[in-house]
Amino acid sequence: MKIISYLLLCWAILVSFNVKSQEVSLFKKGERVVFVGNSITHGGRYHANIWLYYMTRFPDMPITIVNAGIGGEIAEQMYKRLETDVYAKKPSVIAVTFGMNDTGYFEFLQSDSAQKTKEKLERSYKALQQMEASFNKHPEVKKIIVAGSPYDETSKFGKNNMFPGKANAMLKVALFQEAAAKKSGWGFVDFTRPMTAINLREQAKDSTYTLIGNDRIHPGVDGHLVMAYLFLKAQGLAHTKVADFTVNAAASRVEKQVNCVISNIRSKPGVVQFDYLARSLPFPVDTMSTGEWGAMQRREADALNVIPFNKEMNEEILRVKGLNGSRYMVKIDNYKIGEWSGAQLNAGINMAEIRRTPQYEQAMAIKRLNEERWQIERRFRDYAWMEYDFLMDKGLLMKGDLATVDTIYRHINEGFVRGNLDNYLKARYPEVRQGWQRQMDVLVEQIYRINKPRKHSFYISEVK
């Protein structure tokens, strides 16, 4: 009964929740945005997607997004590394998220779970207050609090309600995070309530649905795209077009051009040609099945079934009027991208949904480069786990000497030490870390070299 009451309350809150109320400033050219969090941030896909959006939508406005997540952490641990790990990255913006680990796990199966949850929430709130004091010492840095992705205890896959009550505790964290952000004038973005709303809505149709993984904790790749969508929407980026244009074939003229330039229009019976130069690229969405951090094997593209991402964030509209035939073939740079009826072209088609266009291919190359950068950056965060969550309490932070290695081997079976050993043995050498950083810098330079939209030639002809 308690779970049903919670879900009804949660649904009421979720339905009334308005993403527009979460206003976060658009990132500006040259800004360094550091995302602080636990394993969901450590994994890094949602903020890699946010950066990819900026790379493709604003090709002449370079920014830098930096991963400062460490798996397994609570807010108190994040506070302790603010100076040496976060501010050291010279951020102009900090986005911090916590809650999953703060609320505990197996405590929810114990008889005194209510008291233990209360104590954990109080500890988490105290850490937030400590963060606030630290933030106040850095007024030059903009702050964003992100209420993290939810714990899913309602999906009916596998074991049900592994930690009953944890989702409610996560909601309480989101509420005090929101209140703190409002009080301090920080930005606030909520993943908890909107993602829970999506889960509940989809579970009404399929009880096994979830945006989260089979551990009920880590979102799948589709969940990370939803998180990026929510963050970008909070920044007011909904309905920011890749491009939107209308060509009148009968009159050989442009009737509309948004964020693009249409030129050199030539028409004859059954054929229209023109050149197209957009100021942005479409956002590429992967269709490959991927699973990590306890998440199920899923496709990033699965997110498009539950959020209006393409409608709100990814429209590249081709519209052609004055066509008298029934069906037309569309070529870009002499490559066929598809066939549509005259009525469909008159209404407009969203080229950002077509993976065969040269502009989509250009954007996908950027995505692959960004993924290479992201994979290297994760090595830094695996190294950070060893430094901050294992060595710091032993007085060995950033020592990197043989005595430190000996200590690690003596504790090899503790926590995640063994799993992080190989990476640490490489990363403890500053020369290796410098090499990794240079690799990432080269990848980012390449991205901002190739992300400039190119002029394309359209050829639209009637299919006889």
Strand, helix or coil for residue 212: strand
Report residue 213's pLDDT band, with 50, 70 and 90 as the boundaries. Answer: confident
| Cα angle: 135, vertex 140, 144; to 5 degrees | 55
Q: Report the amino acid identity of residue 435.
A: G
The tokens of 149 are what? 């992705």
Residue 294: its pLDDT value, please?
Answer: 52
Bridge partners of 64, per DSSP, are: 32
Task: Report strand pairing: 64-69 vs 32-37.
Answer: parallel
Query: Is the Cβ–Cβ distance between 170 and 102 less than 8 Å?
Result: no
Mean pLDDT of the chain: 93
CA atoms within 13 A on the CB side of 443: 21
pLDDT, one tens digit per residue, over 369-405 is 999 999 999 999 999 999 999 999 999 999 999 999 9
Q: What is the mean pLDDT of residues 77-97?
A: 97
Domain boundaries, the chain: 2-234, 243-357+453-462, 362-450
Residue 19: its pLDDT value, please?
Answer: 40
Residue 318 phi, psi dihedral angles, 5° rounding: -105, 125
Number of H helices, E strands in the chain: 14, 16
Fold observed for domain 2-234: Rossmann fold (3.40.50)
Would you say residue 7 has pLDDT above 80? no
Residue 1: its pLDDT value, please?
Answer: 36
Would you say residue 234 has pLDDT above 70? yes
Q: What is the mean pLDDT of residues 445-464?
A: 97
Report residue 22's pLDDT band, with 50, 70 and 90 as the boundaries. Answer: low
Strand, helix or coil for residue 208: coil
% of the chain beyond a pLDDT of 90: 89
Strand, helix or coil for residue 369: helix
Strand, helix or coil for residue 161: coil
Report residue 6's pLDDT band, with 50, 70 and 90 as the boundaries. Answer: very low
Residue 464: its pLDDT value, please?
Answer: 86
Q: Report the amino acid identity of residue 400.
A: G
Would you say residue 214 has pLDDT above 90? no
Would you say residue 15 has pLDDT above 50? no
CATH level 2 (architecture), domain 243-357+453-462? Sandwich (2.60)
Residue 160: its pLDDT value, please?
Answer: 67
Report residue 157's pLDDT band, with 50, 70 and 90 as the boundaries. Answer: confident
